[in-house]
Amino acid sequence: QKAGQLFSGLLAMNVVFLGSAFLSSMIFNHVAITLADVWILLSILKVLCLCWITYYLLGTSRQPHAVLYRDSHAGPIWVRGSVLLFGSFSILLNVFQIGYSALLIQCKSKVEIVFPSIEIIFICTQAFFLWHHSKDCIQVQHNFTRCGLMLAIATNLLLWLLAVTNDTIHMEIESQLREVERRFEGKAPFPHPYLCNDTTLCTCPNTTICKVFQKGYILLYPFNTEYCLICCSVLYVMWKNVGRRISHHHASHIKPKFRLQGVVFGPLLGATAVIIGICVFMVYQVQATSSVPNRQVFVMYYSYYIVLLPLMSVAAVIGTIIHALEKKELDTLKNPTRSLDVILLMGAALGQIAMSYFSIVAIVATDPRDLLNSLILSYSVLLIFQNITQNVFIIDGLHRQPFAAAAEARHMGHTGQHTVASELPGEEDATASNKQEHVQMPPGKEEEMKEEQNHEDYDQRRVSMLELGQEIRKVSLSYIQSYSHLSWKRRALREISFFLVLCNIILWIMPTFGAHPVFENGLEKTFYGYSTWFAIVNFGLPLAVFYRMHSVGGLLEVYITA
Amino acid sequence: QKAGQLFSGLLAMNVVFLGSAFLSSMIFNHVAITLADVWILLSILKVLCLCWITYYLLGTSRQPHAVLYRDSHAGPIWVRGSVLLFGSFSILLNVFQIGYSALLIQCKSKVEIVFPSIEIIFICTQAFFLWHHSKDCIQVQHNFTRCGLMLAIATNLLLWLLAVTNDTIHMEIESQLREVERRFEGKAPFPHPYLCNDTTLCTCPNTTICKVFQKGYILLYPFNTEYCLICCSVLYVMWKNVGRRISHHHASHIKPKFRLQGVVFGPLLGATAVIIGICVFMVYQVQATSSVPNRQVFVMYYSYYIVLLPLMSVAAVIGTIIHALEKKELDTLKNPTRSLDVILLMGAALGQIAMSYFSIVAIVATDPRDLLNSLILSYSVLLIFQNITQNVFIIDGLHRQPFAAAAEARHMGHTGQHTVASELPGEEDATASNKQEHVQMPPGKEEEMKEEQNHEDYDQRRVSMLELGQEIRKVSLSYIQSYSHLSWKRRALREISFFLVLCNIILWIMPTFGAHPVFENGLEKTFYGYSTWFAIVNFGLPLAVFYRMHSVGGLLEVYITA
């Protein structure tokens, strides 16, 4: 098994390095290696992936005993949903691109229609494959499947790299364009690096439809990058699950459902934050992109963050403290999905933290007493603090035994054996003393279970009616007390995670759709020099965006299991 | 435990990011952040580390029950030896620097004597600490010790980063200097970035002693970078071992000794490679640094590699095949040292592989049919292949049950219980049939064990003298046959690993002491542009150098356990 993992990993590494070398050559030496060369390489990889996926769908997965086990943790609904959502946006993006190229067919080569078509087929097939097979623990053709999965991961990583580098080129050109606009005060056509290499020749013939294609392309672009990263993470979990055998007990978890009941303040506060954030974002976008950016808009933008980030940090810290108080059992079963989640959270946070530290050093070294600079300084410090506290909160939450599973384990213990006292201290404590506080059950379940227990007690001991009445009274009293005692913790956890979900959504929207103050305020750009700061942002920003999206997923899981 | 690891890891991450931001600021904005600022930051970190190490030596480790277990795998003698060796070279380096600064005291500030003094104290204390305590599994003050270790790791990483960036600045200045020299054909003083910022003012007053300091500084510089990386890896293993409890059986391995007997071809071939390599290196250095570099010297350099690398790859492939044939039991016990070794091998190889792929793309895109270019192309391809095969061979070898341990396990099995037949199929097979080939024992041990077995047999069954004589004859016959049958495998493995050790040493010497053809041949430099290629080499070369050194360690381990 180790050998298969090693070899498929080496395969992916070589493909990624070859692709990165191609990409770098394209960026730094446009003449020798063109974008078309990179596209040819990627198309070959995509076609290979398509062949493998087809073979998997028709051959491997239909063999007898191919899929005996399915990993219940892998590919939760929100992940598969976002694969579908972002996948369809990416397809729309490619349709726009084909339409745009078809309109300007006289000055473009026909390959610019061929490549997006391959991309559409690839996205569709991959989304179908991930929707149906992301939980598979395949038991046949281990090594071939591993190599196929690694090839798909490498292809998606390279697509992401291409998208990220192109995204930043687009940013660069946009900022240059703004300067040109400022100088001439006229309307220049938007020269997208992909769509049009020489702006002078290719201008939109039909203004409305062409503008729609252009704007749609720019708006949908960020979804494509997210799509590639999500596919990578799902494929990686599948790769880890190849050949894995799951014990029956482990596989038979009851999935906790998503319910909105019992949360009030979190959604309210979060919605307020989102609405204010959208207003700030729109003012910022209008102010910062259409005319000369003034300081006011930056002050507004950073003030919003400086108010929001401490709230989020405090919420995360309180959540961590509640987690510590709860003393819930830790879930220590092997779970590749969760390990990956933790690594991705920590890894993606590095991008934001690195950028913040670079900002801090730049500001401290120049002039920290200026108003805007002191705002940026506190913004950076708060971002680091917020990232760390939120990571600790999510990781802590993911390692807790999910609520329903714990209840189910008790349930099974009761119906199965009667000698489970040592394993279930909470249950015993609840009947023994009313002051115990670590029984965590939903009202319906607990009632059901108590009734069952009472029934058993009746059968076994044949107590008198008086005794039974007393016991029922005691149990219901303890239930009410423990519920009212516990529910504040569960409710607080749910409020906090819901609030954080909404905050992370707005913090995801803002950089995704174009607010890049780290680039536009000009402070770090002048300190480090254009190209250096560009490289740092190029590394940090896509990770920061991915971090917000991934946090939303993690927080939703914490919300559900709380 | 997880919480402690998480928090100390976060501490280290923050320190490393802050330091990297300082370093980058120094590199890209010399005015705002000077080298002195970075030195002040590093000195503060060093003093903090010194305080913690002193506290550990005098306080933590002397508490009752502090060090109950020692990890026998951690800090093997070759690692601790290289810590001492490279540490003393680093001290010498700092002494040279102090001497140089003292000679030029009139044009230098006094801090340039203070900082190296702190560095010397830090190196001495750390080397002492690592020599005596690298095997500790500390059982008290877990979290404080973890934080201290992580602080030390972060400090060493930052020292490495500083050394690497300075090393490349030194390379850059040297290459610029050569051009100046070429133009004027005069002797310019060597302007080292550290020692002298303005060459016009500070020239050596006394030529001999000053030249010695300068040359010694340049020659000893590479050892400093290696020292920091080795310390990091040892400290990381200590960090993983904090709070670890080791079962008695696991701890009581017999350490296999390093013996030279029985290997002939490996040392011979390897020594030939080393001698030829040194000649090539000297010719290269003289030709490439003193005058205009001509193509001949590059052809010679690359030809040497193209002959050597296939030999190494073939040796590694044969070694892997022999490993697969041997069917030795895999050692699956938890072993942080080995996991780290594997990660470091794979991670450090990435540097070389990335550089090779960049070279390949550059050459294919320009003109692969030119003689020198085709040589560089095959050199790059072979390097990738060699790195991968060698990694597979080493990782495979590290995961084999060491020979002596396997023998010992059998030994214990015999003296303890008699019902170990199912666990020791090799032993049974050896007495049952002479054609079995997977008994691997050193002659002395096996004889001893057979005697013991015979003795037991005698006691238990009380066989007649005739029967005993027959059995002895049978056993000795089987022993001779199995030994002669097995020894070619063990011998081949030892020959191969010894050969690879010597090859890796020469491949380590060449880039360490200044042969950087990737930079000097000018091909990739013109293709990617100066600064881009500079950044790639800056990332790849220190890792490639570290990879060679680390491979030597891994191969020595494979040699010993074979």
ipTM: 0.72
- Inter-chain residue contact A528 with B350, CB threshold 8 Å: no
Average pLDDT over residues A386-405: 82
- Inter-chain residue contact B529 with A357, CB threshold 8 Å: no
Q: Which of B436, B334, B394, B314 is nearest to B561 (CA)?
A: B394
Contact A156, A163 (CB under 8 A): no
A-chain residues within 8 Å CB-CB of B529? 28-29
State the helix-helix crossing angle for A77-103 and A111-133, rounded to 10 degrees. Answer: 170
Q: Which of B325, B342, B135 is nearest to B241 (CA)?
A: B135
Q: How distant, in Å, are the alpha carbons of A175, A256, A329, A487, A560 from that of A442? A: 55, 11, 17, 9, 13
What distance in Å separates the CA atoms of residue B153 and residue A161, rounded to the nearest whole number? 31
Q: How distant, in Å, are the alpha carbons of A25, B56, B291, B456 from that of B463? A: 80, 61, 84, 11
A-chain residues within 8 Å CB-CB of B362? 25, 32
Residue A370: DSSP 8-state: S
What distance in Å separates the CA atoms of residue A291 and residue A136, rounded to the nearest whole number? 53
Best of A7, A15, A17, A331 to disrupt the B interface (most B CBs within 10 Å) is A17
CB count, 10 Å around CB of A158? 23
Residue B205: DSSP 8-state: S
Q: Which of B241, B217, B251 is nearest to B116 (CA)?
A: B217
Q: For residue A334, give both structure tokens.
A: 């092997």
Residue corresponding to tokens 């799509």 = A227
Put simply, the chain B residues between 76 and 115 with a CB less than 8 A from any chain A CB are none
- Inter-chain residue contact A28 with B532, CB threshold 8 Å: yes
Instruction: Give pLDDT, residue A254.
Output: 52
Q: Is A176 on the interface with B (CB under 8 A)?
A: no
pLDDT digits (tens, 9 = 90+) for A208-221: 777 777 777 777 87
Q: Which of A239, A232, A217, A56 is nearest to A159 (CA)?
A: A232
Q: Indicate the length of chain B as a whole number.
A: 562
Q: Is B395 on the interface with A (CB under 8 A)?
A: yes
* Partners of A400 in beta bridges: A330
What distance in Å separates the CA atoms of residue A368 and residue A355, rounded to the nearest whole number? 17
Q: Is A29 on the interface with B (CB under 8 A)?
A: yes
What distance in Å separates the CA atoms of residue A358 and residue A533, rounded to the nearest whole number? 9
Q: Which of B373, B342, B403, B390 is nearest to B527 (CA)?
A: B373
Contact A515, A359 (CB under 8 A): no
- Inter-chain residue contact B24 with A527, CB threshold 8 Å: no
Q: Which of A194, A157, A135 is nearest to A46 (CA)?
A: A157
Contact A555, A502 (CB under 8 A): no
Instruction: Give pLDDT, residue A74.
Output: 82
What distance in Å separates the CA atoms of residue B516 and residue B503, rounded to the nearest whole number? 18
List the single residue in B25, B362, B392 with the smallest CB-CB distance to A361.
B25
What distance in Å separates the CA atoms of residue B260 and residue B272, rounded to the nearest whole number? 18
The minimum CA-CA distance between A10 and chain B, rounded to whole Å, is 8
Contact A281, A304 (CB under 8 A): no
Average pLDDT over residues A167-185: 56
Q: Is A301 on the interface with B (CB under 8 A)?
A: no
Instruction: Give pLDDT, residue A426.
Output: 37
- Inter-chain residue contact A388 with B6, CB threshold 8 Å: no
CB count, 10 Å around CB of A410? 20
Q: Is B10 on the interface with A (CB under 8 A)?
A: yes
Q: Which of B557, B547, B551, B2 is nearest to B240 (CA)?
A: B2
Q: Could you tell me which residue, A183 or A437, shows the higher pLDDT?
A: A183
The minimum CA-CA distance between B284 and chain A, rounded to whole Å, is 28
Q: Is A283 on the interface with B (CB under 8 A)?
A: no
List the single residue in B353, B399, B527 with the smallest CB-CB distance to A17.
B353
Q: Is B388 on the interface with A (CB under 8 A)?
A: yes
Q: Is B22 on the interface with A (CB under 8 A)?
A: yes
The minimum CA-CA distance between B346 and chain A, rounded to whole Å, is 10
Q: For residue B56, give both structure tokens.
A: 């550990």
Q: Is A377 on the interface with B (CB under 8 A)?
A: no
State the helix-helix crossing angle for B530-561 and A2-28, rounded to 10 degrees. Answer: 160
* Close Cβ partners of B204 (under 8 Å, ≥ 6 residues apart): B103, B104, B189, B210, B211, B214
What distance in Å separates the CA atoms of residue B209 and residue B267, rounded to the nearest whole number? 39
What distance in Å separates the CA atoms of residue B230 and residue B236, rounded to the nearest whole number? 10
Contacts for B127-132 with beta carbons within 8 Å, 24 or more apart?
B127/B83, B127/B84, B127/B87, B129/B53, B129/B56, B129/B57, B130/B75, B130/B80, B130/B83, B130/B231, B130/B234, B130/B235, B131/B80, B131/B83, B131/B84
- Inter-chain residue contact A528 with B25, CB threshold 8 Å: yes
What distance in Å separates the CA atoms of residue B49 and residue B149, rounded to the nearest whole number? 8
- Inter-chain residue contact B21 with A392, CB threshold 8 Å: no
- Inter-chain residue contact A528 with B6, CB threshold 8 Å: no
What phi, psi does A286 have (nearest 5°)? -65, -45
For residue A197, count CB atoms less than 10 angstroms from its CB and return exposed for 0-12, middle for 13-18, buried for 19 or more: middle
A-chain residues within 8 Å CB-CB of B366? 32
Q: Is A31 on the interface with B (CB under 8 A)?
A: no
Q: How distant, in Å, are the alpha carbons of A27, B382, B524 from that of B367? A: 19, 19, 12
* Partners of A1 in beta bridges: none
B-chain residues within 8 Å CB-CB of A354? 17, 20-21
Nearest residue on chain B to A527, judged by CA atoms?
Answer: B29
- The helix (H) or strand (E) run that includes residue B45 is helix B35-58
Contact A112, A35 (CB under 8 A): no
What phi, psi does B237 have (nearest 5°)? -65, -40
Torsion of CA B319, B325, B328, B330, to 10 degrees: 70
Q: Is A384 on the interface with B (CB under 8 A)?
A: yes
How many CA atoms lie within 13 Å of B544's alpha carbon, on the beta-carbon side?
25
Best of A13, A22, A24, A388 to disrupt the B interface (most B CBs within 10 Å) is A24
Q: Which of A537, A447, A452, A477 is nearest to A175 (CA)?
A: A537
b/e A223-234 (16+ beta carbons within 10 angstroms → b): bbbbbbbbbbbb
A-chain residues within 8 Å CB-CB of B361? 18, 21-22, 24-25, 33
State the helix-helix crossing angle for B465-512 and B425-432, rounded to 10 degrees. Answer: 130
For residue A38, count CB atoms less than 10 angstroms from its CB and return exposed for 0-12, middle for 13-18, buried for 19 or more: buried
B-chain residues within 8 Å CB-CB of A4? none
* Partners of B551 in beta bridges: none
Longest dimension (CA), chain B: 96
Put simply, the chain A residues between 494 and 553 with a CB less than 8 A from any chain B CB are 527-529, 531-532, 536
pLDDT at A26 exceeding the cut of 50: yes
Instruction: Give pLDDT, residue B158.
Output: 94
Q: Which of A433-437, A465-469, A474-478, B379-383 has the lowest mean pLDDT?
A: A433-437
- Inter-chain residue contact A13 with B353, CB threshold 8 Å: yes
Residue type, B522: G
Average pLDDT over residues A380-393: 94
- Inter-chain residue contact B29 with A392, CB threshold 8 Å: no
Q: Is A10 on the interface with B (CB under 8 A)?
A: yes
Instruction: Give pLDDT, residue B117.
Output: 92
Contact B519, B359 (CB under 8 A): no
Q: Which of A158-167, A446-455, B84-93, B136-145 has the lowest mean pLDDT?
A: A446-455
Q: How distant, in Å, are the alpha carbons of A255, A316, A561, B369 from that of A258? A: 9, 21, 9, 64
Contact A507, A555 (CB under 8 A): no
Nearest residue on chain A to B332, judged by CA atoms?
Answer: A2
Residue corresponding to tokens 């330091």 = B19
Mean pLDDT, 10 residues at a time, over chain B (562 residues)?
A: 85 93 85 85 95 92 83 82 91 88 76 88 94 88 92 94 73 57 47 40 66 76 85 91 74 56 82 94 80 78 94 94 78 78 89 92 87 92 94 88 52 42 36 38 46 51 59 64 63 90 92 80 83 80 88 89 78
Instruction: Give pLDDT, residue A263.
Output: 74
Contact A271, A499 (CB under 8 A): no
Contact B135, B71 (CB under 8 A): yes
Q: For residue A136, give both structure tokens.
A: 């598979």
Confidence of residue A62 (pLDDT cuts 50, 70, 90): confident
Q: Which of A189-198, A384-393, B225-234 has the highest mean pLDDT?
A: A384-393
SS3 of residue B505 by DSSP: helix
pLDDT digits (tens, 9 = 90+) for A324-379: 887 666 776 777 788 888 888 998 999 899 999 999 999 988 888 888 899 999 99
B-chain residues within 8 Å CB-CB of A6? 392, 395
Q: How distant, in Å, are the alpha carbons of B218, B437, B438, B482 from that of B485? A: 51, 7, 9, 5
What distance in Å separates the CA atoms of residue B304 and residue B277, rounded to the nearest whole number? 7
The minimum CA-CA distance between B464 and chain A, rounded to whole Å, is 50
Q: Indicate the length of chain A as a whole number.
A: 562
Contact A157, A232 (CB under 8 A): yes
Q: Which of B148, B82, B155 is nearest to B118 (CA)?
A: B155
What distance in Å separates the CA atoms of residue A538 and residue A532, rounded to the nearest whole number? 10
Q: For residue B254, give both structure tokens.
A: 């017999």
CB count, 10 Å around CB of B36? 13
Best of A5, A8, A25, A361 to disrupt the B interface (most B CBs within 10 Å) is A361
List the single residue in B21, B399, B531 with the smallest CB-CB distance to A361.
B21
Q: For residue A296, give both structure tokens.
A: 């006011």
Q: How distant, in Å, are the alpha carbons of A367, B51, B131, B155, B550 from that of B149? A: 35, 12, 15, 10, 22
Q: For residue B448, give both structure tokens.
A: 């001893």
Nearest residue on chain A to B387, judged by CA atoms?
Answer: A10
